[in-house]
């Protein structure tokens, strides 16, 4: 599944930063929910993602995810949006982790609801807040310790030459950025006619459009990464080649330590295309290879004390449909 990009992350928290009259946003298909509770943009949207990786010597997998976001209040200075996500990750069989012999369940689920509040101040300043609650587990909501949550806030103000500063803080008990630790950050948003850059922590990202219809992007969001080269226009037909390094976190119901997390990690290279389907619906299709696949359990980022397993590389196909209303 695709990860949320740094550009989409900022465009959700600070909607006006990338707003341009009569021009489609270049980040409208930049990413998707990744279990960290980010809410959708301040317009009604719905999306469905799916992926299939056939089994070989290692378990194969299928993934599905549906996300709906709806603004419930909008004014010249205030926006309130609600969103919900449901998804599943199915391995073709359980996996036994090395060293510990722990058996990882074959089926995991992620359900989440949340909201976003955005308030614009005078002199092009603004602040926002978002929160979510849900469960990401093989047995979601079975116990209180399986409930996941996240909170985030940001404050943005103008810098020189129409650029911007963004100050933010994020807290979650199930995030690639770290669990139960407030993560402060800052971003300098730099815009020219052909380049938009986000430079800071925990985000670094560049979108470069040297000549129409070519575009290139590179995003680093904590321990996850994505890169893409694209040709064409999203609202007509766009082909792309890309690379992602993703990590999904789940809370196994039978874990001994409440802070233990199952990490599903992989790298992917892909080719694909995007195009309008009907009305406001956009479709994206990928064919790629998943490699450096692993499962591991630990209580900290990159911690494998609870055991690990390496999975074989494999070819996958994925699809993504998104509509705004």
pLDDT 10s digits, 35-61: 333 444 567 999 999 999 999 888 999
Domain ranges, residue 228: 6-324
Say what percent of the chain tops pLDDT 90. Answer: 76
- Is 103 a residue whose pLDDT tops 90? yes
What's the rounded Cα separation, in Å, for the pair 29 and 44?
15
Question: What is the number of structural domains in the chain?
Answer: 1
Predicted local distance difference test score (pLDDT) of residue 14: 54
- The sign of the torsion formed by the CA atoms of 74, 148, 204, 47 equals negative
Average pLDDT (127-135) is 95
CB distance 40 to 12 below 8 Å: yes
Q: Is 1 inside any structural domain?
A: no
**E strands of the chain, at which residues?**
45-53, 61-74, 78-91, 95-96, 103-104, 107-120, 126-137, 147-158, 164-172, 183-191, 195-201, 203-208, 214-221, 224-233, 237-250, 261-278, 281-298, 308-311, 314-324
Would 182 be classed as within a structural domain?
yes
pLDDT band, residue 9 (cuts 50/70/90):
low
Note whether residue 131 is domain-resident: yes
Within-domain flag for 166? yes
Assess whether the previous peptide bond of 213 is cis (omega < 30° from 0). yes
The alpha-helical segments, DSSP class H, found in the chain are: 6-13
Beta bridge partners of 117: 80, 129
- The string of pLDDT tens digits covering residues 202-240 is 889 999 999 999 999 999 988 889 999 999 998 899 999
With a cut of 80, say whether residue 281 has pLDDT above it. Answer: yes
Read off the pLDDT of each residue in 272-289 and give the average, rounded to a whole number. Answer: 95
């Amino acid at each position: 599944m695709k990860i949320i990009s740094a550009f989409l992350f900022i465009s959700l928290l600070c909607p006006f930063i990338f707003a341009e009259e009569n021009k489609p946003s270049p980040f409208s298909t930049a990413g998707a929910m990744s279990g960290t509770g980010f809410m959708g943009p301040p317009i009604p949207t719905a999306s469905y993602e799916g992926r299939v990786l056939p089994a070989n010597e290692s378990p194969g997998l299928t993934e599905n995810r549906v996300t709906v976001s709806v603004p419930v209040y909008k004014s010249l200075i205030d926006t309130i949006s609600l969103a919900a996500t449901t998804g599943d990750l199915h391995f073709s069989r359980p996996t036994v982790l090395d060293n510990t012999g722990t058996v990882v369940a074959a089926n995991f689920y992620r359900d989440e609801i949340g909201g976003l509040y955005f308030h614009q101040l005078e002199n092009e300043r603004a602040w926002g807040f978002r929160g979510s609650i849900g469960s990401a587990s093989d047995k979601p909501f079975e116990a209180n310790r399986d409930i996941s949550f996240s909170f985030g806030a940001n404050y943005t103000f103008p810098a020189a030459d129409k650029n911007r500063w963004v100050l933010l803080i994020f807290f979650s008990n199930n995030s690639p950025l770290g669990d139960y630790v407030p993560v402060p950050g800052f971003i300098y948003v730099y815009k020219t006619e052909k380049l938009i850059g986000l430079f800071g922590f925990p985000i670094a990202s560049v979108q470069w459009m040297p000549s129409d219809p070519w575009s290139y992007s590179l995003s680093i969001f904590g321990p996850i990464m994505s890169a893409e080269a694209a040709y064409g226009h999203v609202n007509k037909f766009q082909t792309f080649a890309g690379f992602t390094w993703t990590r999904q976190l789940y809370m196994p119901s039978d874990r001994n330590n409440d802070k233990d997390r199952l990490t599903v990690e992989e790298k992917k290279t892909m080719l694909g295309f995007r195009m309008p389907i009907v009305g406001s619906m956009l479709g994206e299709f990928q064919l790629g290879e998943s490699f450096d696949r692993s499962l591991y359990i630990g209580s900290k980022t990159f911690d494998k004390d609870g055991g690990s397993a390496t999975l074989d590389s494999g070819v996958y196909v994925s699809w993504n449909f998104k509509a705004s209303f």
